[in-house]
Amino acid sequence: MINQVKKFLPPLLGLSLLLNTHSQMYAQSLEEQTVLAALALNIVRFTTWPDEAQTRIKESIDFCVIGDNVVQESFTSINNKVVGNKTLQIVNLSRLRNFEDCHVLYISELKQNILLQVFVDINKHPLLTIGQGYDFAAQGGMVGLENVDGKITLHVNLPVVHESNLNISARLLKLAKIIGE
Amino acid sequence: MINNKKVVIDYYLSLLILCFSPLVIAEKQTEAVDLSVEDLLNVEVTSVAKKAQSLNDAPAAAFVISNDDIKRSGATNIPDALRLAPGLDVARIDANQWAVSSRGFNGRFANKLLVLIDGRNAYSRSFSGVYWENQDVMMEDIDRIEVIRGPGAALWGNNAVNGVINVITKSSSQTQGGLVNAGGGTQEQGFGSLRYGTKLGEDTTARAYVKGFDRSQNTLQSGGKAGDNWDKVQGGFRLDSHLSTQDALTVQGDIYQANINQLAFFSQITSPYQGTQNVKNSDSGGNLLSRLQHTFSPTSDYSLQFYYDNYSHDETMFNDSRDTLDLDFQHRFAMLDWHEIIWGSGYRYGHDRIAGNQLQNGSAPIANINPASVNDQLYSAFIQDELTLINNKLWLTIGSRFEHNDYSGFEGQPSAKIMWTPHNKHRLWAGVSRAVRTPSRAEKSAAIQLGVTPPQALPFPPFSSPPVVTVAQGNSAYMSEEVITYEAGYRTTFSKAMSLDVTGFYNDYRDLRYTSQGTPYFNGNAVVVPLNFTNALSGKTYGVEIATVWQMLDWWRWDVNYSWLQTQLNNMDIVSTSVSPQQRMSLRGAFSPQETIDLDFWLRYVDSNFSVTTLGNITIKDYVTLDLRAAWRPIKDIELSLVGQNLLAPNHLEYVAENQTFPTLINRGMYGKVSWKF
């Protein structure tokens, strides 16, 4: 039996070594969650909060994350990064409540029925919502990040952004697909 | 010898080189945070490593088999796909019968594993087990199979003693468009399926499917064809609708018809005392399920589920048909800042009819159930509270299910579990639970003729002793089997590309099924030795289950599972319980050297196991087996694949059924498949 296993191994390993050159193609690519975290940081940098919310933001911008361990791990890469004269503070949420304590809410994945109720809960709070998926923005989120054939596309739902009195810089909007206008 | 050594060294060298290549790649990577938005939107992103790093948050030995895992395994049915999970003992008895269990006690009617398909119970009360040949779905539409080892009774109910399997199909919104599969080969002689999904209005999606297959026969251990070929046709639909932003409705149903060939043996009290017959059994069934979900807030929702299920199952020994109506309610809500509560209640009504079949040679049925038909009811309620003791760090989950059924009365099945995440790369959990396996109809009220010893010539001819018949005799006082389980587990992601899941368990069983010999009596034709079902057996099992995923390269993943199981049953006069393999190992490599090419290999080792059958007690030798798969996508929506199953030997024995089926060797198989999405 073992001999038969051995028979199969050399061609398999040989084949894989031959094909290994192929991995060079991937070498230029980056891990998705890390890219999403970096994009989220930039989106925060391009966002201004209304005055009354600004005064609530003391020394740090509280960036709340709803996601699994992989997402949480990736977002530690933007923890304590400087945004204007503040620093960004990552807060991992294990419960879907007390959103008003956050300045930014990042949602990696939620069932649709629950996601819709999160948007109802947030209702016009000056809270920047960023999320993953093709319809995150269409369903009522502010900035959606969609992976289209290996590249990230931005979706911005401007009416929702404006209702919450947030402002996203034109430089970022230029790069995004605008929804609702 | 020297040559051999050189080859071995070559393996290790090449493995070593491969091991280091991901590190080299990692070094080359630019820090994403240093890039501009424009650059971030232009860079190629990869998400392959996510599976390798994701840690399950459940304080239980949970394992998820994904749609992609199933596809790449080449499995064509649910039980074969379950071989992907650690801790499960999956063995094919013949082409149309399987023995599937978790943490030991395997058998065709393995009775300690609960199986749910989209929330519908597939575990039958008749013989306490699952007719695997009747369970099927469109494999391509499976979202995931959740395998929970250990007691799940607090949440899922009776009979989730050593595990729960949840087969979950995709929402119809995720299966839009058409899909055609067709193929065939040696064992999988021919198969085809068609699914089409569409939008029915703004908020409603639906799909319908039809599938069929023809599976070839295997080889008898004694030589010759096993006569176990079968074919099946199944169709179904699913509709998902958002009635409002807060309400979602799902309606789904399936219907099937199978022709199952069986070469069965049976005992009889007249010469030649054992008969065989070739029969074509007809199995059919269907179900209709609807689920309404209302979401109050992100932390509160309820669901109301109703289903009707019907099956008619036929085999040489008996015919079993059953109708089930089930109603389930579940409500989840948060209380204060640190409680998440789920509670629910359910009601189930069953109507069955089980009868022994007349044999072809005119012999009387060897199985009798009295009464032949009953109606039964089950009431249940459960509550579970997940308490956050330290935010993001420590949780305590306590809960219990309370049930009343017509076979064992009231049952309470509590569970307490604790989970600690010292870091988001580490999860530690431990728990203690009680679960019961409720009596089957057969254990309560069947009489099944197991074997006949032919008459022996006496020293004073022409007289001879009468034949001796052993009969498994149901017992109206039969009670539930019980387990107390202690479990602990650890999950971690070592690195960006590797995760490990280890679970240890200790199960303490009491009131297990035992057959004790009653007083023999003469019925006019034969001496009858009754073997009465009693709850006299106790014992323990303990073991370790390990699952690792290693995303070695973006295009190369390894999945390795290992399980070790020790079964210790109290010494009794009659051996009446099968013992599962002590060790099982699965090594799977998934390569995608080109975006259009997938190559997979899957090597499995299964230790020897022990079956108690009417042919005697049989030890099945350990075996190693290998499956290979190659797939090529010449254009985006077409995939051609070639799968080889059980390649290392022309055939091998995996399990011997308790009765009726001769030891059957599972043949090597090859099949080709074309998939077209439109």
- How confident is the model over A41-62, as pLDDT tens digits? 999 999 999 888 777 777 889 9
The predicted structure's pLDDT at residue A45: 94
Nearest-angstrom CA–CA distance, B648 and A41 = 53
User: Across the beta sheet with B651-653, what order do the strands follow?
Assistant: B219-220, B664-667, B651-653
Q: Give yes or no for B392 touching A (CB within 8 A).
A: yes
pLDDT in the model for residue A8: 54
Q: Per-residue b/e over B524-551, b at no fewer than 16 CB within 10 Å?
A: eebbbbbbbbbbbbbbbbbbebbbbbbb
Gap between the Cα atoms of B532 and B515, Å rounded: 5
**B185 three-class SS:** strand
pLDDT band per the 50, 70, 90 thresholds, residue B106: very high
Nearest Cα residue to B488 out of B506, B475, B474:
B506
From chain B residues 50-89, the ones with a CB under 8 A of any chain A CB are 50, 53-55, 57
What pLDDT does residue A6 have?
A: 54
Residues of B in contact with A15 (CB under 8 A): 593, 599
CB atoms within 10 A of CB A156: 22
The arrangement of strands across the sheet holding B113-117 comes to: B61-66, B142-149, B163-169, B113-117, B120-121
Chain B residues with beta carbon closer than 8 angstroms to that of A172: 37
Chain B residue closest to A37 (CA)?
Answer: B33
Which pLDDT band, with edges at 50, 70 and 90, does B125 fall under?
very high
- Mean pLDDT of all residues belonging to chain B: 92
Report the alpha-carbon distance of residue B281 to residue B313 in Å, rounded: 8
State pLDDT tens for residues B304-349: 999 999 999 999 999 999 999 999 999 999 998 899 999 999 999 9
Q: Are B578 and B107 in contact (CB under 8 A)?
A: yes
Name the band, by pLDDT with cuts 50, 70 and 90, for residue B50.
Answer: confident
Residues B110 and B123 sit within 8 Å (Cβ to Cβ): no
Q: How far is B47 from chain A (nearest CA, A)?
A: 5
Question: Given CB atoms, is A91 within the 8 Å cutoff of chain B?
Answer: no
Q: What is the pLDDT of residue B64?
A: 94
Cα(B415)–Cα(B342) distance, integer angstroms: 14
pLDDT confidence tier of residue A10, bands split at 50, 70 and 90: low
A138 CB within 8 Å of a chain B CB: no
Q: What is the mean pLDDT of residues B592-614?
A: 95
pLDDT at B22: 45
Question: How far is it, in rounded angstroms, from Cα B522 to Cα B177?
Answer: 67
Q: What residues of B are in contact with residue A147 (Cβ under 8 Å)?
A: 45, 47
Report angle CA B365, B369, B374 to the nearest 5 degrees: 140
ipTM of the complex: 0.85
Least trusted range by pLDDT, from A160-169, B183-192, B490-499: B490-499
Distance CA B116, CA B118 (A): 6
DSSP label at residue A130: E
* H/E run at residue A15: helix A2-19
Q: So what's the pLDDT on residue B303?
A: 97
In percent, the amount of chain A with pLDDT more than 70 equals 84
* Structure tokens given for B211: 């599938």
CA dist., res. B79 & res. B108, Å (int): 12
Whole-angstrom distance, CA of residue B156 vs CA of residue B300 = 20
Amino acid identity at B83: R
Cβ(B113)–Cβ(B90) below 8 Å? no
CATH, domain A31-179, list 3.30.710.10, 3.40.50.2300, 1.20.1050.10, 3.50.30.30? 3.40.50.2300
Asked if B386 and B395 count as a contact pair (C-beta separation under 8 A), the reply is yes
How high is the pLDDT of residue A124?
Answer: 82
Are the C-beta atoms of residues B503 and B545 closer than 8 Å to each other? yes
Sort strands A104-107 and B638-645 into parallel, antiparallel or unpaired: unpaired
* Domains detected in chain B: 56-677 (2.40.170.20)
- Rounded Cα distance between B361 and B91, Å, is 32
- What pLDDT shows up at residue B364? 86
pLDDT tens, position by position, B213-258:
999 999 999 999 999 999 999 999 999 999 998 999 999 999 999 9
Answer yes or no: are the C-beta atoms of B575 and B590 closer than 8 Å. Answer: no
Partner B, chain A 24-63, Cβ-Cβ below 8 Å: 26-35, 37-39, 41-42, 46
| Burial class of residue A82 in the structure, from the number of CB atoms within 10 Å of its CB (0-12 exposed, 13-18 middle, 19+ buried) | exposed
pLDDT in tens, A127-150: 999 999 888 999 999 999 999 988
With cut-offs at 50, 70 and 90, classify the pLDDT of residue B299.
very high
For chain A, say whether B648 makes contact (Cβ under 8 Å): yes
- Assigned token pair, B385: 């509270």
Q: Which residue has the higher pLDDT, B564 or B464?
A: B564
**Bond prior to B461 in cis (omega within 30° of 0):** no
* Dist. CA B146–CA B134, nearest whole Å: 20
Average pLDDT over residues B158-171: 96
Identify the pLDDT of residue B582: 96
Extract the runs of DSSP E, i.e. beta strands, from B554-621.
556-569, 583-594, 597-606, 609-613, 616-620
Residue B501 has phi, psi (to 5 degrees) of -135, 120
